[in-house]
Amino acid sequence: MEKSLAMGAAVTGERTHTAANTRRGIWLVAAGAALWGIDPLFRILLLKYFTSSQIVLFEHLLLMIYALPVLWLHRSELKGLRASHLGALLFISWGGSALATILFTSAFAHGDPNAVLLLQKLQPLFAILMARLLLKESLPAKFPLLLLMALAGTYLLTFGLGSPVSSLSGMAAVGGLLSIGAAALWGGSTVMGRLLLGKMQFETVTALRFACALPLLFALTSVGGSDLQPLVGAHDWLAVGGNLLLQAFLPGLLSLLLYYRGLSGTKASYATLAELFFPAIGLIINWLVFHQPVTVAQLVGFVLIWVMLIQLSRQR
């Protein structure tokens, strides 16, 4: 009897510990996504001086300050990688770190910044589909309800009470397609990153994501032309240099460290809903900095996303 009670207590303690780790992981993913929301503060200014591929290349070169020492210290984790791991690494580095960031940056040059940010809320649709197909993740009973709540919140944030057709009529089609392409690649990267975290630590995944993207970025930058505003004077150099540093190490490095640390203990399908913090924070930035008005419907959508995240963090 005492042995049964002890085993039951151990199981209960393990479940409590697992639930606590899941909650912490979800909020770490949300914190990383929130840092992505401040990304336009730096990226929009840089588009005056560089092409999209140049901005992403410079960002990754700066991030090698972090990546090279980590890869050397964790080099033992690189042994025994299977084809599935190499494929996942190629997807998150070339797709999620290089191509998606270029598409996202280009979207700001072609479309409305508010719409570009808010279209990133399509990421869960891509990530949940891939998580079901590739990771065989089982979903809790309440997950469909939470997904509907999240989608309702994102709809209100994006379109308000109007129809999608009328809301998108004033947005450049190219900007919208570029933003949706970035959402698809980032949604897939959530799933591929979760696959890699079963093999190596989150610091190693972050470093590999930056390092492996460089060959593709050099190739894309070398074939692209530039007809943009030149840097003149000390003020321009200080402004651009400061923005590049902040861009690389805040929404770049710090956000991904928080994100992959949280993702290491969180299902990809849960994490992608926590990533909705990204466009939600972007909406606030647009309101405070770019003076984009926020409607009552958008506030309701924001509250729905918050409630969804709280409920999701309580799931086992």
pLDDT above 50 (res 298)? yes
**Lowest-confidence pick of 19-23, 76-80, 216-220, 280-284:** 19-23
Return all residues near 83 (Cβ < 8 A) that are at least 6 apart: none
Residue 164: CB atoms within 10 A of its CB come to 10
pLDDT above 60 (res 166)? no
Burial 6-18 (b: 16+ CB within 10 A, else e): eeeeeeeeeeeee
pLDDT above 80 (res 135)? no
Return the sign of the alpha-carbon dihedral for residues 309, 89, 212, 92. Answer: negative
The pLDDT-based confidence of 11 (bands split at 50, 70, 90) is very low
Quote the CA–CA distance of 88 and 195 in Å, as a whole number.
7
**Nearest C-alpha neighbor of 43 from the set 246, 221, 198, 207:** 246
Percent of the chain with pLDDT over 70: 74
pLDDT at res. 170: 47
pLDDT above 90 (res 4)? no
Quote the CA–CA distance of 212 and 97 in Å, as a whole number.
9
**Lowest-confidence pick of 29-33, 44-48, 134-138, 232-236:** 232-236
**Lowest-confidence pick of 176-185, 207-216, 221-230:** 221-230
pLDDT at res. 226: 57
Kindly report the average pLDDT of the chain as a whole number: 77
pLDDT above 60 (res 17)? no
Mean pLDDT over 147-161 rounds to 73
- pLDDT, tens digit (0-9, with 9 covering 90-100), for 225-241: 555 555 555 667 777 88
pLDDT at res. 9: 44
pLDDT at res. 289: 78
pLDDT at res. 214: 93
Please state the pTM of the whole predicted model: 0.71
Quote the CA–CA distance of 133 and 115 in Å, as a whole number.
29
pLDDT at res. 149: 81
| Token duo for residue 293 | 């008005």
Mean pLDDT over 191-213 rounds to 88
**Lowest-confidence pick of 59-63, 93-97, 158-162:** 158-162
**Nearest C-alpha neighbor of 124 from the set 77, 60, 190, 208:** 190
Q: In the chain, where are the structural domains located? A: 25-313
pLDDT at res. 213: 93
- pLDDT, tens digit (0-9, with 9 covering 90-100), for 73-119: 999 998 888 888 899 999 999 998 889 888 888 887 776 666 677 67
pLDDT above 80 (res 299)? no
The pLDDT-based confidence of 5 (bands split at 50, 70, 90) is very low
pLDDT above 60 (res 275)? yes
The pLDDT-based confidence of 314 (bands split at 50, 70, 90) is low
pLDDT at res. 312: 65
